[in-house]
Amino acid sequence: MAMCTRLCDECNTVLTAYENGSIIAYDLRSGGIPITTLTLYTEPIMCMDFHDANEVGRGICGSMTKELCVFERHEEGLLEKRRVPVINEGFCSVHVRPDGKIVASGGVDGRVRVFSWKTLKPLAVLDVHKESVQTVRFSKDSVCKVGPLLAAGSKDRTVTLWSLYN
């Protein structure tokens, strides 16, 4: 079963993450034929994002484990690049800011974790929500003259807005 999808505009590809822990890239130019598969987990991938930049696109995904997986898209297919460990297990959401500088994840522990997208170094842990953070999303443009905002929606029925590293 498909868990999440991302359209890669630059490479005419759709990435789909599945409950078996794999990601399949489908070529849109050939009618959606699968072109490569990458297995990252032994359990379902719960969230995924992809950022097209330069010649190599980079993606990140999470499951109910204690690590995020970073992968890259190359001509030869999808390749795992790195695993980013965290203390508490379980990711519900992940999103790369449109400028490609930072990435945020929402966890089942109610925390939003922020990392440098270039180095994957942890930058911040936002611990406000009382239940799992189901979605994180950066705005594409400046909001109210403060720059891009991060919205985090939680199972506790609250949404928080954050101005981060603007």
- What are 140-160's pLDDT values in tens digits? 877 777 778 999 999 999 999
Mean pLDDT of the 66-95 span:
93
Task: Quote the number of domains for the chain.
Answer: 1
Residue 26 has a pLDDT of 93
For residue 32, the model assigns a pLDDT of 82
Per-residue pLDDT tens for 4-20? 999 887 778 899 999 99
pTM, entire model: 0.90
Given this model, what pLDDT does residue 127 score? 94
Which residue, among 165, 150, 148, 159, has the nearest Cα to 105 in the 3D structure? 150
Residue 166: band (very low, low, confident or very high) from pLDDT cuts 50, 70, 90: low
Residue type at position 5: T
pLDDT score for 31: 85
Per-residue pLDDT at 89: 92
Buried b (16+ CB within 10 A) or exposed e, 32-65: eeeebebebbeebbbbbbbbbeeeebbbbbbbeb
- The pLDDT score that the predictor gives to residue 85 is 93
Q: What is the CATH number for 72?
A: 2.130.10.10
For all residues of the chain together, what is the average pLDDT?
92
Please state, in angstroms and rounded to a whole number, the distance separating the CA atoms of residues 26 and 56. 17
In tens, the pLDDT along 26-54 reads 988 888 899 999 999 999 999 999 998 76
Asked whether the beta carbons of 102 and 87 are under 8 A apart, the reply is no
Identify the domain containing residue 74 by its residue range.
2-163
**Region 72-77: what's the mean pLDDT?**
85
